[in-house]
Chain A
Amino acid sequence: MSSRDVILNRVRRALSGTPAVEESVDRTYLVEHGSRSTEETVDLLAENLADYRAIVHRADADGLAQLLRRLLSERGARSVLVPPGLDASWLETAGDLARVADRAELTPQELDAVDSVVTGCAVAIAETGTIVLDGSPDQGRRRITLVPDHHICVVRVPGQVVSSVPQALRRLDPGRPLTWISGPSATSDIELDRVEGVHGPRTLEVVLLSEGGSARLA
């Protein structure tokens, strides 16, 4: 008998005395916490991102390229990783910065030599201060937002912002590799106190890009 059968048989025997009725799940917990206007939800996102030491900026479509140029230059970045589907105009004015394309052939060592990475995101969660990446063309492969030490993530507000974790899961496709990011990498392993800056990017900057009036919150 295979171990698969051994385990499944053990489980079935263990449950043999238990009625097989499906226990229902009471989902009367809240879909979101508190009631806020769209604007207040975006403010809450900014507040919670900053609370976990992400640096938050705001821009509109006209000012985004300039802001990104300033952030990369203040950082002293000489090279930036660019996902294939990133809006080309965003880095248009970024001058003589070397642009490294996200390719499958890049080795981890090559990634490690790149200073910064700029991406979009799939969804952002206000209540927890979280951005979620799903491997779409404007976000690239998971590793490009991991190895470089500086990540700039552009969130379209309010279109990409939800209030809560349940709302975020509804928007996401479980078939894609997902990375949920809440602040720069951190640890609580020394005396159970939070310290920022371990293996992931030690600097996380989030740009809230306003889309104008038409988009609505989910």
Chain B
Amino acid sequence: MSGTFVGMPAFPEAARDAVRDTTLRGNLRHATHTIRAKRAKAVAELEDWARLREAGRQIKDRTLRRLDHYLVQLEEAVTAAGGTVHWAADADEANRIVAGLVRATGEREVVKVKSMATQEIGLNEALAAEGIAAYETDLAELIVQLGDDRPSHILVPAIHRNRGEIRDIFARTMSEWGRPAPDGLTDTPAELAEAARLHLREKFLRAKVGISGANFMVAETGTLVVVESEGNGRMCLTLPETLISVVGIEKLVPTWRDLEVFLQTLPRSSTAERMNPYTSMWTGTRDGLTGEGDGPRAFHLVLLDNGRSDTLADEVGRQALRCIRCSACLNVCPVYERAGGHAYGSVYPGPIGAILSPQLRGTASEIDASLPYASSLCGACYDVCPVAIDIPEVLVHLRERVVQGGPVTRRGAKVTLRPAKGHAAERAAMRAAAFAFTRPGTLAAGQRLAARTRRFHPRRLPGPGRAWSDSRELPKVPAEPFRDWWLRTRGGKDAEK
């Protein structure tokens, strides 16, 4: 994938093109509305959904509260089961570790299971720079890779493409990467899936190194869990001789039993299924009872920080680390539906991306400082979140941080952010409001002045407020302030006067 997110413009500029693209709008509306109704039905099947959601929240909070303890416990368990644990403080270190492990096998190509963590660190590009070809094997990731495109959704990275576009990408580019698309390929989804099956088969069968992420890691047993649909995950997890899993440090759950919550809430929230077609669980390099040689002989786990411990330091923002990457919040978001995933300038788009990216990366860049504003605060994301992340609360918290600045943690060190430049008018307005609201006399005088001059009020704000009032009605000022009316009529009793 050569498309990158570096140097992205702020969200409003990036979204402007997307909202004018009628094909994109149509593709997104169709896909998100399809999944919304299905998810609601799948969730309604479980009468204890609210309790499962609360238990999921509690398990994740409990994990985060003692994350250091559980990480050490996991390391011991994975090591005891024959795996090797590596620690990566940032993206560069993770990429160096993985490239080194692949080089040590002598191989020049790897097959990959869809993984948000490896997208986040730009692993494919880093491996390409070392002369190692990384083949994406998830259907949507394949579409993105073949189309030289960027992912736009957590679960379905090619959600911005419709079947006709996918057909064209396959017909045009598959031959450059391996087995060409069948002649006369049509745009029926079953035929497209078949083309992907044929194209990837030879790569799976000859692969010596597989790279994955994980949905869950169980601290007490050292077990990793990958939840998938197509079977490409199983191929990458079982056929190669070496398996390398890159996993964010927040993907832990303390106990085996904790999986009983997430294996119920994740499939229903993401693909709206009672259960996804395939879930793989493995512990180090342990075999079943059949004998040796069940799966890779070498297993490496790369634990990735890359801004997660900084996020953990923020008492309001840390709840974003509960995320199990189901993507339900994207599918219900009115802003995501219209702006699409690319405008968020991150592999994590949508509501969760708007709170995760500015915390993982900091708010120094234009795009990251604008993301907390990429929301109408309608709260639909919070309603559907299976681990009850209060996304609107974190958005408002991050907006405050952008406007006012204040203490944050970056790369483990406490620093003080300066207030962002672009928000001077907002700060001035808030200072004026604070001044007036703490002085009743000033407030009353201001209200009377506003009431008497109301015929001259503009419909739109001048200067920096102009864009704000482009899409909003300014409130109408009453002819008389409420307090004056109350005094004059004794609360309505003398209304006839």
Chain A residues within CB distance 8 Å of chain B: 2-4, 6-15, 17-18, 20, 22-30, 33, 48, 52, 83-85, 102, 104-105, 108-109, 112, 125, 127-130, 134-137, 139-143, 146-147, 165-166, 169, 174-201
| Smallest CB separation, A81 vs chain B (Å) | 12
Q: Which residues of A contact B140 (CB under 8 A)?
A: 189
In contact, A191 and B30 (Cβ under 8 angstroms): yes
Kindly state the separation between the CA atoms of A194 and B313 in the bound complex, as whole angstroms. 40
User: What are the interface flags for B23-64 relative to A under an 8 Å C-beta threshold, 1 for contact and 0 otherwise?
Assistant: 000010011101100000000011110011011001101100
6 contacts between A and B (CB under 8 A): A3-B93, A6-B305, A33-B48, A176-B287, A180-B279, A199-B204
Taking CB atoms and an 8 Å cut-off, the chain B residues in 222-249 that contact chain A are: 223, 229-232, 234-235, 237-239, 249
Kindly state the separation between the CA atoms of A170 and B110 in the bound complex, as whole angstroms. 35
In contact, A23 and B65 (Cβ under 8 angstroms): yes
Q: Which residues of A contact B3 (CB under 8 A)?
A: none
Q: Which of B159-167, B372-380, B419-427 is the contact stretch?
A: B159-167
* Given A52-B277, A146-B234, A174-B218, A190:B30 Cβ within 8 A: no
* Given A22-B62, A28-B51, A30-B48, A195:B68 Cβ within 8 A: no
Chain B residues within CB distance 8 Å of chain A: 27, 30-32, 34-35, 45-48, 51-52, 54-55, 58-59, 61-62, 65-68, 71-72, 81, 87-89, 93, 137-140, 143, 155-156, 158-159, 162-163, 166, 189-190, 192-194, 196-197, 200-201, 204-206, 218, 221, 223, 229-232, 234-235, 237-239, 249, 256-261, 263-264, 271, 273-283, 286-295, 303, 305, 309-310, 312-313, 315, 318, 331, 409, 412
In contact, A186 and B277 (Cβ under 8 angstroms): yes
New A-B contacts (16) at CB < 8 Å, excluding given A104-B291, A177-B280: A10-B305, A20-B65, A25-B59, A84-B291, A135-B290, A136-B288, A141-B293, A142-B238, A142-B294, A146-B234, A181-B277, A187-B230, A190-B192, A191-B27, A199-B201, A199-B230
Q: Which residues of A contact B158 (CB under 8 A)?
A: 189
Kindly state the separation between the CA atoms of A104 and B277 in the bound complex, as whole angstroms. 26
Q: Which residues of A contact B291 (CB under 8 A)?
A: 84, 104, 141
* Given A25-B62, A189-B138, A193-B189, A135:B71 Cβ within 8 A: no
* Given A22-B66, A169-B257, A176-B288, A197:B278 Cβ within 8 A: no
Q: Which of B139, B235, B279 contacts A179, CB < 8 Å?
A: B279
Kindly state the separation between the CA atoms of A118 and B62 in the bound complex, as whole angstroms. 42
In the complex formed, the residue of B with least CB distance to A2 is B87
Q: Which residues of B contact A27 (CB under 8 A)?
A: 55
Q: Which of B54, B166, B231, B409 contacts A200, CB < 8 Å?
A: B231
Q: Which residues of A contact B52 (CB under 8 A)?
A: 29
Q: Which of B27, B48, B89 contacts A3, CB < 8 Å?
A: B89
Closest 9 CB pairs of A and B: A135-B288, A200-B231, A104-B293, A199-B231, A14-B313, A10-B309, A128-B275, A180-B279, A198-B230
In contact, B32 and A192 (Cβ under 8 angstroms): yes
In contact, B289 and A176 (Cβ under 8 angstroms): yes
Kindly state the separation between the CA atoms of A186 and B71 in the bound complex, as whole angstroms. 34
* Given A25-B58, A177-B294, A8:B71 Cβ within 8 A: yes
In contact, B271 and A3 (Cβ under 8 angstroms): no
In contact, B231 and A190 (Cβ under 8 angstroms): no
Q: Which residues of B contact A178 (CB under 8 A)?
A: 279-282
| Smallest CB separation, A135 vs chain B (Å) | 2
In contact, B286 and A140 (Cβ under 8 angstroms): no
Please count the residue pairs between chain A and chain B whose beta carbons lie under 8 angstroms apart in the complex.
Answer: 292
Q: Which residues of B contact A175 (CB under 8 A)?
A: 81, 221, 283, 286
Q: Which residues of A contact B280 (CB under 8 A)?
A: 142, 177-180
* Given A26-B58, A135-B287, A193:B65 Cβ within 8 A: no
Q: Which residues of A contact B412 (CB under 8 A)?
A: 6, 9-10, 13
In contact, A140 and B46 (Cβ under 8 angstroms): no
Q: Which residues of A contact B283 (CB under 8 A)?
A: 174-177
| Smallest CB separation, A166 vs chain B (Å) | 4
In contact, A200 and B68 (Cβ under 8 angstroms): no
In contact, A108 and B239 (Cβ under 8 angstroms): yes
In contact, B232 and A199 (Cβ under 8 angstroms): yes
Question: Which of the listed residues B166, B239, B274 has the most CB atoms from chain A within 10 Å of its own CB?
Answer: B274
In contact, A188 and B156 (Cβ under 8 angstroms): yes
| Smallest CB separation, A30 vs chain B (Å) | 5
Q: Which of A136, A166, A169, A198 contacts B229, CB < 8 Å?
A: A198
Q: Which residues of A contact B310 (CB under 8 A)?
A: 10, 14
Kindly state the separation between the CA atoms of A143 and B234 in the bound complex, as whole angstroms. 8
Q: Which residues of B contact A199 (CB under 8 A)?
A: 137, 197, 200-201, 204, 230-232, 234-235
Q: Which residues of B contact A14 (CB under 8 A)?
A: 309-310, 312-313, 318, 409
Kindly state the separation between the CA atoms of A198 and B189 in the bound complex, as whole angstroms. 11
In the complex formed, the residue of A with least CB distance to B285 is A177
* Given A179-B234, A197-B193, A199-B197, A3:B223 Cβ within 8 A: no
In the complex formed, the residue of A with least CB distance to B257 is A169
In contact, B193 and A26 (Cβ under 8 angstroms): no
| Smallest CB separation, A57 vs chain B (Å) | 20
Kindly state the separation between the CA atoms of A181 and B238 in the bound complex, as whole angstroms. 15
* Given A84-B291, A189-B158, A191-B162, A109:B89 Cβ within 8 A: no
* Given A137-B289, A137-B290, A141-B288, A189:B156 Cβ within 8 A: yes
Q: Which residues of B contact A105 (CB under 8 A)?
A: 293
* Given A191-B162, A193-B189, A199-B232, A26:B67 Cβ within 8 A: no
Kindly state the separation between the CA atoms of A17 and B48 in the bound complex, as whole angstroms. 34
In contact, B51 and A26 (Cβ under 8 angstroms): yes
Kindly state the separation between the CA atoms of A134 and B373 in the bound complex, as whole angstroms. 48
Q: Which residues of A contact B81 (CB under 8 A)?
A: 175
Q: Which residues of B contact A165 (CB under 8 A)?
A: 260, 263-264, 275
In the complex formed, the residue of B with least CB distance to A202 is B197
| Smallest CB separation, B65 vs chain A (Å) | 6
Question: Which of the listed residues A18, A108, A169, A177 has the most CB atoms from chain B within 10 Å of its own CB?
Answer: A177
In the complex formed, the residue of B with least CB distance to A176 is B288
Q: Which residues of A contact B54 (CB under 8 A)?
A: 26
| Smallest CB separation, B111 vs chain A (Å) | 11
| Smallest CB separation, B317 vs chain A (Å) | 11
Q: Which of A23, A84, A129, A177 contacts B282, CB < 8 Å?
A: A177
